[in-house]
Structure 1
Amino acid sequence: MSFALLWIPATIAASLLQTARNLTQRSLTDIIGVVGATQVRFLFGLPFALLFLAIVCAVAGRLPPAVGGTSLAYTIAGALTQIAATALMLAAMRERSFAVTTAYTKTEPVQVAIFGALLLGDALTPLKFLAVLIATAGVVVVSWKPGEKLTRAGLRPALLGVGAGAFFALSAIGYRGAIQALPEGGFFLRATTILALGLFLQTLVLTLYMLAANRPALISSLRNWRKSLSAGFLGAAASQCWFIGFSLTSAANVRTLALIEVPLAQIASRRIFAEGTSRREMAGMAMIVGGVALLLSIAL
């Protein structure tokens, strides 16, 4: 049985789970601060990642594959850049709306395509890059309001959001490189192994940092354990789906398909909250769908 196309449903599931996790983390930012909300997805996500790994190992009937130096280096790079990306994203969300900040970070697919070609040798044909560019431009069209100017006050969240996108791109490349560097095991086992290792490293780094520099935020996250646990589970489940995608296709394919969450969110807003959709938003969504469709036609 071929699992080559499993990255498509895995990516869609990851996008939905990540949106829910971001909303949960955003609500925690006002309670425990940016760093506190950043560490929640790692500290409270690690137990779920270990549980996922135990289940996969039991089903596969074997232990996780040995992690060599190359895979470890890629995992460390992915883990640290993901911490930076999450912190920048949450900092931007404190200054701009959730939707606008999400649009800034969604410049990530273009950066993933470039970094993937340079660092991992992932194929980047002109047609594929065009698909990524069209879909990303669609996000900008959907999110940017007519007549809205980028003032000095708006420059900081814009830079934070685009910077978060760049670090998310490097994180995706790091994790894909780590999964590829594992010497053995099926795609599911390799993806789950790197997920558990990455979350362990992130939890270690952030817990040590917070014990030394921001102990009240760490204690507050433990006191708000119900919401923190929700963010942890959603983060671990989203990452599991992302890593499955990374194990089967290029990070650029995964991150570009993930842009489909933008028109899905618009549709949900219209159906659930009776919010209208402008012609500009419809045009932007058409660009996203068109770019994703072009990418899938190439990938398939």
Structure 2
Amino acid sequence: MDSWILWTLGGAFFQNLRSALQKRLKDDLGTLGSAFARFVYAWPLAVGYLLVSAEVTGVSVPDVQGVFLAYVVVGGAAQIMATVCLIEAFSHRNFAVATAYSKTDTVQAAVFGLILLGDALTALAVLGIAVSLVGVIAISLKRQQASWRQLLTGWLQPAALLGMAAGAGFAFSAVCYRAASLSLEPVGANVQAATTLAWVLGLQTLAMGAWLARRRPEQLRAVLASWRVSGWVGAAGMAASVGWFTAMTLENAAYVRALGQVELIFTLGASWLAFKERSTAVELLGIAALVAGIVILLLGTA
């Protein structure tokens, strides 16, 4: 099994764990506070991971250049923009449609990857991405009590446009992070990915921390005071990002984003184990399509 597959599965698992932990923080810290906790407590861990990775592999931390910094800044800004768009979409009545449209990030990552890096996709991989996308959208719509008709007729509504913008931001940031890692001296995927992650988290922490200090100082104080709980969110988030960044350094970002949709299966599995929730027929069909799409994708990348 290719290593990028294992890194992606690890990233999806820890992202699911981080999301579960972050939901508990949201009531106490608010949306922005819980998001900042993810960055500020993950950053020092990412720096430590970088130093340990370099020491274990016997290489030096690569020097950064202007091209690397440009990709990191633009990618980090795109990720923040995507998060803001998704949060804004929740204020609209049909936010379920927005969530579904945000799942088009796999397709958009393929387009951005081709334009920026010349990352082409095989025909079989394109088919796999398309099949898995149908499965993911079906699961998302069912879980939020929305219909395919709403999806197809509401694509010009503000919520849908916000969802597509969020998907574009997440897709573009993924491609930028891959480009940043590949622009570094080839000292090994682990160290290159760790370098990119440390810089991205650092810049995002400083940018969001400065904004909170100016506009929401009470939320900033609450995040810093909640370190006993927030620290776990940062640790899970850092572990997830290590998986994503390393996988995207090794392989096309569109493939990584598509395989990473397995996170939905982890979420449904956790709901079944923890809360004994049963999946509906539509959700089971969505899972089947998602799994089939992932199998086709992996066959297309073999």
Give TM-score, length-normalised by structure 1: 0.88
Separation in 1, partners of 2:133, 2:37: 29
User: Separation in 1 of the partners of 2:167 and 2:92?
Assistant: 16
Q: Write out aligned runs for 1:1-300 (5 A).
A: 5-92=2-89, 103-145=100-142, 148=147, 149=150, 158-300=160-302
- Secondary structure of the 1:63 match is coil
Structure 1: give runs of 5+ residues left out of the alignment. Answer: none
Residue 147 of structure 1 deviates from its aligned partner by 6.6
Three-state SS of the structure 2 residue aligned to 1:183 is coil
Q: CA deviation at 1:140?
A: 1.2
Tell me, which stretches of 5 or more residues in structure 2 are unaligned? Answer: none
Task: Supply the distance in 1 between the matched residues of 2:45 and 2:94 (Cα, whole angstroms).
Answer: 30
Q: How many Å separate the matches in 1 of 2:95 and 2:51?
A: 35
Per-residue CA shift, 1:20-51, capped at 9, x if unaligned? 21233333333323322222211111011011
CA contact (8 A) 1:74 1:174 kept: yes
- Displacement of 1:60: 2.2
Distance 1:98 1:41, change over 3 A: farther
- CA change 1:207–1:267 in 2 (3 A) is closer
Q: Distance in 2 between matches of 1:69 and 1:147?
A: 45
How many residues are treated as equivalent by the alignment? 296
**What is the distance in 1 between the residues matched to 2:291 and 2:92?**
29
Percent of residue pairs identical? 38
Tell me the distance in 2 between the aligned counterparts of 1:169 and 1:285: 22
Contact (CA 8 Å) 1:42, 1:232: kept in 2 or not? yes
CA contact (8 A) 1:104 1:162 kept: yes
Question: Cα–Cα, structure 1 residues 282 and 91, in superposed 2: closer, same or farther, change >3 Å?
Answer: same
Distance 1:269 1:29 in 2: 19
Q: How many angstroms apart in 2 are the aligned matches of 1:110 and 1:35?
A: 28
| More moved, 209-218 vs 120-129 | 120-129
Distance 1:98 1:65, change over 3 A: farther
User: What code does the residue aligned with 1:31 have?
Assistant: D
Is residue 176–residue 246 contact of structure 1 (8 Å, CA) maintained in 2?
Answer: yes
Report if the CA contact (8 A) 1:122-1:250 is conserved.
yes
Query: 2:99 and 2:228 mapped to 1: Cα distance?
Result: 25
For residues 281 and 243 of structure 1, what CA distance do their matches in structure 2 show? 29
Helix, strand or coil: the match of 2:2? coil
Check the 8 A contact 1:35/1:87 in 2, yes or no: no
- Distance between the aligned counterparts of 1:95 and 1:229, measured in 2? 32
Q: Distance in 2 between matches of 1:238 and 1:70?
A: 25
Tell me: CA distance 1:46–1:97, structure 2 relative to 1, closer, same or farther (3 Å).
farther
Question: 1:227-280 deviations in whole A, cap 9, x for unaligned?
Answer: 221111111111111111011110011111111222333344334433222222
Q: In 2, distance between residues paired with 1:88 and 1:25?
A: 18
Give 1:143 shift: 2.4
**What root-mean-square deviation, in Å, do the aligned CA atoms of Structure 1 and Structure 2 show?**
2.7
Deviation at 1:129, TM superposition (A): 1.9
Distance 1:58 1:170 in 2: 31
Q: Report the residue type matching 1:261 in the other structure.
A: E
Distance of aligned partners of 1:104 and 1:272 in 2 relative to their CA distance in 1, 3 Å threshold: farther
Post-superposition offset of 1:286: 1.2
Residues 16 and 266 in structure 2, CA contact (< 8 A), matched pair in contact too: no
Change (3 A) 1:165 1:26: farther
